[in-house]
Amino acid sequence: MDAIDVIVTKRDGRELSAEQIDWVVDAYTRGVVADEQMSSLAMAILLNGMNRREIAGWTQAMIRSGARMDWSALPGRTTDKHSTGGVGDKITLPLAPLVAACGGYVPQLSGRGLGHTGGTLDKLESIPGWRASLSNDEMLDVLGRAGAVVCAAGEGLAPADRKLYALRDVTGTVESIPLIASSIMSKKIAEGTGALVLDVKVGSGAFMKTVDRARELATTMVELGTDAGVRTVALLTAMDRPLGRTVGNALEVAESVEVLAGGGPADVVELTVRLAREMLDAAGLSGGKDPERALQDGSAMDVWRRMISAQGGDPDARLPRAAETLEVTAASSGVLTRLDAYGVGLAAWRLGAGRERKEDPVSFGAGVVLHAGLGDRVREGQPLMTLHTDEASRFERALAALDGAYVVGEHAGPDPLPLVIDRVTA
Ligand code: URA
């Protein structure tokens, strides 16, 4: 087998054989196939696509490149969620303890943020003492004690994807549905969950800008999960506007705690409860406690506190706050007809909530707090949002990101996307 044959097969629009896929993924992981050869193949895949058999083979080859986790020692069923990422998407924080409070075990391996969308680990690291890196034994221990664990994926999980994703990032080959689907699902299948709910975001603040592309990605991932024996369901959800009222690490933790205390913004509560029901249903656990009740009776909050403490965090500690704030007010009275997720996400990132390069630190207190939602009536001079940062010099570029991202009109605008747009099953 040689790399040029594999590249030319895909370049000419032909199907890769199972042997070609197994060989090229393994040889690339071992360093036998060079980065320039893999980037050429990734571009050929982006341009010519892969069919269901090829995508499944590619995913399995990436899973085989590393370890596979095993939760059979737990006394119950595992179920997990993956979101393709969005602005203000803090749902994992209330969702993992909520599902555990209703009888599921949630082994959630998460990532850090890059670009305008935040990462779950960055959010949780704003809690003093909380530790993202756990050994497999520690994960099992936290899962056993709390019912849910959120931590960093170890180096051993799908190393082929780790290497390939870094390469795609710098070669213009991220936006291929077969490559995105196999990248996400190789990690989720290797994580060993029995059931999986995918939250595929659609809109300006998401990877997928249109419902059609999001549906294609969701369908591909649901097929991959199902073929691998994981009960998989996907929801397409709105990311044309931010989720909830906060964007930024510690700000989003505070909002998540409000949800766990039985309050919080309606959209965050609705999506958390909907995803919890889907996760429980996919795991065959829907006969237990209802998620809405577990938010009201304090049981989800109890799990949160156990989960955070088990990873060294202090659930009662004061969260970091940014040193500087700036209010953005309405220039006229009317209706908030536009509140663009990408613009708000970019502003939060420029305030210091996100990172430019993988090795950059994030500012835990930085971000945006929204005081009005899409469709709300506002008066001239009323605060629309507050910007938070540690360095006042960042305000100017954050305000530039918000230019055109929000509009106060005289009349209500067109209806926004529904929060849950569609559901995709096998
Ligand atoms: N997230 C991933 O893990 N992989 C991709 O390819 C895109 C998003």
Which residue out of 84, 183, 358 has the highest number of ligand 1 atoms within 8 Å of its CB and is therefore the one to mutate? 183
**Ligand 1 atom index nearest CA of 184:** 3
Residue having the nearest C-alpha atom to atom 1 of ligand 1 = 184
Of 145, 157, 156, 149, whose CA–CA distance to 132 is shortest? 149
Query: What is the DSSP code string of 175-223?
Result: --HHHHHHHHHHHHHHTT-SEEEEEEEESTTSSB-SHHHHHHHHHHHHH
Fold exhibited by the domain 80-316: Pyrimidine Nucleoside Phosphorylase; Chain A, domain 2 (3.40.1030)
**Ligand 1 atom index nearest CA of 183:** 4
Q: Is 183 a pocket residue for ligand 1 (Cβ < 6 Å)? A: yes
68 dihedral zone (left: phi>0; alpha: psi -120 to 50; beta): beta
Is the CATH number 3.90.1170.30 carried by domain 324-409?
yes
Q: Is 180 a pocket residue for ligand 1 (Cβ < 6 Å)? A: yes
Q: Is 176 a pocket residue for ligand 1 (Cβ < 6 Å)? A: no
Q: Is 71 a pocket residue for ligand 1 (Cβ < 6 Å)? A: no
Q: Is 112 a pocket residue for ligand 1 (Cβ < 6 Å)? A: no
Of residues 162, 187, 305, 350, which has the active-site annotation? 187
User: Domains of the chain: which residue ranges?
Assistant: 3-49, 80-316, 324-409
Tell me the helices (H) and strands (E) count for the chain, helix number first: 16, 13
373: Cα within 13 Å, side-chain hemisphere:
10
Homologous superfamily in CATH for domain 3-49: Transferase, Pyrimidine Nucleoside Phosphorylase; Chain C (1.20.970.10)
Active site residue 286: no
Which helix (DSSP H) or strand (DSSP E) does residue 234 occupy? Answer: strand 231-238
Active site residue 363: no
Contact of 344 with 87, CB cutoff 8 Å: yes
From the CA of 48, how far away is ligand 1's center (Å)? 19
How many whole angstroms separate alpha carbon 88 and alpha carbon 208?
Answer: 16
Contact of 335 with 216, CB cutoff 8 Å: no
The pLDDT value given to residue 155: 81
Could you tell me the two tokens for 401?
A: 């990101």
Following CA atoms 9, 55, 218, 168 in sequence, which dihedral angle do they give, to the nearest 10 degrees? -60
Of 181, 187, 114, whose CA–CA distance to 154 is shortest? 187
Of 74, 153, 96, 70, whose CA–CA distance to 279 is shortest? 96
Buried b / exposed e over 352-366, threshold 16 CB at 10 Å, is: bbbbeeeeeebbbbb
Buried b / exposed e over 247-272, threshold 16 CB at 10 Å, is: bbbbbbbbbbbbbbeeebbebbbebb
Q: Which amino acid is at 360?
A: D
**Single pTM value for the model:** 0.96
Of residues 80, 89, 122, 161, which has the active-site annotation? 161
Could you tell me the two tokens for 149?
A: 């664990």
Radius of gyration of the CA atoms of the chain, in A: 22
Burial of 90 (0-12, 13-18, 19+ CB in 10 A): buried
Cα distances from 168 to residues 39, 157, 161, 316, 356, in angstroms, run 7, 18, 10, 41, 17
How many whole angstroms separate alpha carbon 272 and alpha carbon 304?
Answer: 14
Which residue out of 82, 110, 114, 184 has the highest number of ligand 1 atoms within 8 Å of its CB and is therefore the one to mutate? 184
From the CA of 342, how far away is ligand 1's center (Å)? 18
The 10s digit of each residue's pLDDT in 241-294 is 999 999 999 999 999 999 999 999 999 999 999 999 999 999 999 988 999 999
Active site residue 183: yes
Which residue out of 174, 182, 186, 191 has the highest number of ligand 1 atoms within 8 Å of its CB and is therefore the one to mutate? 174
Active site residue 168: yes
The 10s digit of each residue's pLDDT in 279-334 is 999 999 998 899 999 999 999 999 999 999 999 999 999 999 999 999 999 999 99
Which helix (DSSP H) or strand (DSSP E) does residue 7 occupy? Answer: helix 3-11
From the CA of 153, how far away is ligand 1's center (Å)? 13
Regions of the chain where pLDDT drops below 70 = 114
Of residues 83, 183, 256, 299, which has the active-site annotation? 183
What are φ and ψ of residue 110, in 5° steps?
-120, 175
Which helix (DSSP H) or strand (DSSP E) does residue 107 occupy? Answer: strand 106-110
The pLDDT value given to residue 377: 96
Contact of 234 with 184, CB cutoff 8 Å: no
Contact of 211 with 422, CB cutoff 8 Å: yes
The pLDDT value given to residue 55: 98
